[in-house]
């Protein structure tokens, strides 16, 4: 429902974070639809507010609950045991206990998991969606760009969660798909290495159209707290040496220590380290595991149309 000025009367997205957690406070696993309905009830939304729609056709209330859910999930205040289900975590219970009235973005920023991987940009992530008071300070183009960045940051966080939950073979397929979309692989594939002594290498892919040069690949699906250190890179380099390879790429869903990055720079081989954040950026750029949800057309004056006026 909108007021006389055309502004929605539905509360901003972050005010739904506490109602979302309250709807899950019994500790049971709830399906998404039930959680959303319970959240609306707790938030006291009227029927017109529940039926108010965005231009895309999505109910505005569900959109804002979705943002609140994503933020809480990123902070590990809730988890998703299976697709379309949610359950509160100990972190979520702690948030409810410490914030009996309202949970703010600032409260989530105090939780390391919330900002662990996706860098917080100024006015670019869900933590920095501009308020009505600050909208006037930004151009419409600024708002569009910051909104797109916020959505992509949210997708990156979800991609990392999904990648860490896949089996190793599927993760290798993801890496292969990214490399192929980037233009590598004369036959559109990453060849599996045969025989023993591969040293953990997962495959190789052609670097040029004639297949005269190959890139050797290692893909490790690690938890976010399992930082890849120097020993893993040294083992990777050793495996490349046994193959007489000069180029290698190490992919992980985790991140690399400073010592690991330093080790990669000091060896004679060309080594590229792709951490979880970089991998999700490549997946979005090359449309691997993601799809375009909506296209927005921005109009401007057609000067040629008025050229004879």
Which domains are present in the chain? 13-164 (no CATH), 168-285 (3.40.1350.10)
DSSP 277: H
Which residue spans within the chain are E strands per DSSP? 30-31, 78-79, 85-88, 203-206, 214-220, 247-252, 270-274
**Proportion of the chain above pLDDT 90, given as a percent:** 55
Q: How buried is residue 296: exposed, middle or buried, by Cβ count under 10 Å (0-12/13-18/19+)?
A: exposed
Angstrom distances, CA of residue 198 to CA of 112, 240, 249? 37, 9, 15
Cβ atoms 47, 53 nearer than 8 A:
no
How much of the chain exceeds pLDDT 70, in percent?
87
DSSP per-residue letters across 79-134: E-SSTTEEEE-HHHHHHHHH-SS---HHHHHTSGGGGSSS---TTTSGGGPPPHHH
Give residue 135's pLDDT band: very low, low, confident or very high (50, 70, 90). very low
Q: How many CB atoms lie within 10 A of CB 241?
A: 14
Of 38-52, 201-215, 224-238, 246-260, which gets the smallest average pLDDT? 201-215
Query: Residues in the chain, how many?
Result: 309
Let me know: does 294 contact 56? Beta carbons within 8 Å: yes
Mean pLDDT of the chain: 85
* pLDDT computed for residue 259 by the predictor: 96
As a dihedral over the C-alpha atoms of residue 261, residue 265, residue 267, residue 271, rounded to 10 degrees, the angle is 80
Asked if pLDDT for residue 102 goes beyond 80, the answer is yes
For residues 286 and 178, the answer to whether their CB atoms sit within 8 Å is yes
The answer to whether 81 touches 73, Cβ cutoff 8 Å, is: no
Which carries the bigger pLDDT value, residue 187 or residue 147? 147
| Structure-model confidence comparison of residues 187 and 96, the more confident one | 96
Does the pLDDT value for residue 288 go beyond 80? yes
**Res. 270: pLDDT tops 90:** yes
Q: pLDDT-based confidence at 139, cuts 50/70/90?
A: confident
**For 290, which DSSP code?**
-
> Which of residues 210 and 11 earns the better pLDDT score?
11
Confidence of residue 122 (pLDDT cuts 50, 70, 90): very low
* Paired tokens of 273: 């380290």
Q: Give the span between the Cα atoms of 126 and 75, in whole angstroms.
A: 12
More confident position, 190 or 248: 248
5-21 confidence digits (pLDDT tens): 445 778 889 999 999 99
Contact 260, 230 (CB under 8 A): yes
Query: Do the beta carbons of residue 196 and residue 227 sit within 8 Å?
Result: no
Answer with the residue of higher pLDDT: 195 or 268: 268
Q: Residue 141 belongs to what H/E stretch?
A: helix 140-164
Beta partners for residue 78, in sequence order: 88
């Amino acid at each position: 429902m909108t007021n006389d000025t055309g502004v929605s009367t539905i509360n901003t997205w972050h005010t739904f974070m506490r109602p979302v957690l309250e709807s899950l406070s019994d500790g049971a696993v709830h399906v998404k639809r039930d959680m959303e309905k319970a959240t609306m009830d707790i938030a006291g939304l009227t029927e017109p507010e529940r039926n108010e729609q965005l231009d895309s056709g999505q109910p505005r209330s569900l959109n804002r609950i979705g943002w609140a859910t994503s933020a809480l999930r990123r902070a590990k205040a809730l988890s998703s045991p299976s697709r379309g289900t949610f359950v509160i975590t100990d972190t979520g219970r702690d948030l409810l206990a410490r914030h009996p009235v309202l949970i703010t973005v600032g409260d989530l920023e105090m939780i390391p998991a919330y900002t662990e991987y996706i860098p917080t940009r100024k006015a670019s992530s869900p933590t920095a969606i501009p308020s009505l008071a600050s909208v006037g300070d930004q151009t419409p183009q600024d708002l569009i760009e910051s909104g797109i960045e916020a959505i992509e940051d949210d997708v990156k966080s979800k991609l990392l969660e999904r990648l860490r939950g896949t089996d190793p073979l599927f993760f290798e397929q993801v890496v292969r798909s990214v490399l192929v979309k980037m233009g590598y692989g004369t036959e559109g594939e990453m060849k599996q290495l045969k025989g023993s002594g591969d040293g953990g290498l997962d495959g190789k892919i052609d670097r040029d159209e004639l297949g005269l040069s190959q890139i050797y690949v290692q893909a490790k699906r690690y938890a976010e707290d399992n930082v890849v250190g120097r020993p893993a890179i040294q083992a990777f380099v050793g495996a490349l040496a046994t193959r007489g390879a000069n180029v290698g790429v190490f992919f992980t869903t985790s991140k690399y220590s400073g010592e690991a990055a330093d080790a990669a720079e000091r060896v004679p081989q060309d080594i590229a380290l792709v951490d979880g954040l970089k991998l999700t950026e490549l997946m979005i750029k090359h449309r691997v595991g993601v799809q375009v949800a909506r296209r927005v057309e921005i109009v401007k004056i057609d000067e040629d149309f008025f050229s004879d006026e």
